[in-house]
Amino acid sequence: MRDIKRISVRGKRVLVRVDFNVPISNGIVQDDTRVRATLPTIKYLIKNGAIVILMSHLGRPKGKVKKELSLEPVAKVLSNLINQKVKFVSDCIGNNVKSVINESREGDVILLENLRFHPEEKENDAEFSQKLSELGDIYINDAFGTAHRKHSSTYGVAKFFKEKAPGFLLMKEIEMLSQIRDNPAHPFTVILGGAKISTKLGVMKNFLNKADKLIIGGGMAFNFFKSQGIEVGKSLIEEDKIEDSKDIMRKASKENITFLLPVDIMIAKEFKNDTEKKVVSKDKMEKGWMGLDIGPITSRIFEEAIKGSKTIFWNGPMGVFEMENFREGTEIIGKAVSDETNKGAFSVVGGGDTISCLNLLRIDKISHISTGGGASLKFLAGETLPGIEALEEK
């Protein structure tokens, strides 16, 4: 891939794919982490005289215009962050968009409306890709969070540009995650949580001959319990991944990996914060109840297992951290990872939910916080990401 610094951008229209898929409530951005992550690229382009055209998706509008999924609130946040007005355009293709760009000067920043208001974006439609390409002279992809998607703005558009490159965020993600994937210092501890095991299978399989410890929490732990014939009550499981769970445990044993599952669970009557709750042993789950956090004994075991790690990868909370009564397990693990980072460990935390819980719990001592959830998991699983592949010079 080309180095962005080796491309002359002055006076050029630079079309930049960013990941501004941020939480918005009542027209107000709730977490600007992903916006801040793109600032090095945006500020570099402004400083070097480019006309900066930013494009992103937001949420799942399913090809329809939805006011609550407009990127307009993000334009206001970005304006404050870069101390200059960001021009917001109410579409991402068409004559009006071209008119705004043509009237712009060097150093101006334009934010286009939600790409996914057009169904063609997710379909990687060739005509839509071409229309996007007509807006710029140079293409930069700085949206690692969507690099695993073969969409028009991340893949299809790239073939229309002779000059294209990754932004600083995308390059940083590749460098940091490559260190985890290809050359981790040992002991190497992998911590996986969250709701679904299906999204984490690739990472687990790829790390079975690299990790020293594999720690499993969150809803995905119940798949492993179910595969062992343990009652899981109303807890979340993926029935079609039971055999995969058995396979992971067999291979972990064969590779002599320390494989840790919860030994006690915080269970609840209902999926809400103020419901009846109690801690039980992993094999004492009651029918009609569900697990919403790891228990205190498990928290201490996991915390102890993290100590002494030289490399740590963490993706997914240990419980339903959004609810105060089911947050403790995730908080203890987060602080343990932070403590080891302070002692010199290289730590990478990935995934939207994990980033949200870091912000909520004010855990900030992490070597690298990845902006990509699915993208980081696929990259670490050894898969080729279309958004990166599209930037490679043939």
User: Is 327 tagged catalytic?
Assistant: no
Upstream peptide bond of 386 is cis (omega within 30 degrees of 0): no
CB 166 within 8 A of CB 1: yes
90 is written with which tokens?
């109410």
CB 188 within 8 A of CB 210: yes
Q: Which of 136, 193, 194, 352 is catalytic?
A: 352
Smallest Cα–Cα separation from 92: which of 39, 145, 129?
129
Residue 291 phi/psi, 5° resolution?
Answer: -85, 130
Q: Which of 17, 34, 87, 200 is catalytic?
A: 34
Cα–Cα distance for residue pair 299/221, rounded to 1 Å: 14
Three-state DSSP at 144 gives helix
User: Is 372 tagged catalytic?
Assistant: no
User: Is 6 tagged catalytic?
Assistant: no
Give the DSSP letter string of 18-63.
------EETTEES--HHHHHTHHHHHHHHHTT-EEEEE---S--TT
Q: Which of 43, 66, 76, 196 is catalytic?
A: 196
Residue 53 phi/psi, 5° resolution?
Answer: -115, 110
Cα–Cα distance for residue pair 266/341, rounded to 1 Å: 28
Distant-in-sequence, close-in-space partners of 276: CB < 8 Å, separation ≥ 6:
268, 269, 270
Q: Which of 49, 59, 233, 374 is catalytic?
A: 374
53 forms beta bridges with 15, 110
User: Is 196 tagged catalytic?
Assistant: yes
**Which residue reads 């609130």 in tokens?**
73
Cα–Cα distance for residue pair 331/359, rounded to 1 Å: 11
CB 302 within 8 A of CB 215: yes
Q: Alpha helices, DSSP H only, in 242-294? A: 242-254
348 forms beta bridges with 313, 368
294 is written with which tokens?
């790891």
Catalytic residues: 34, 196, 352, 374
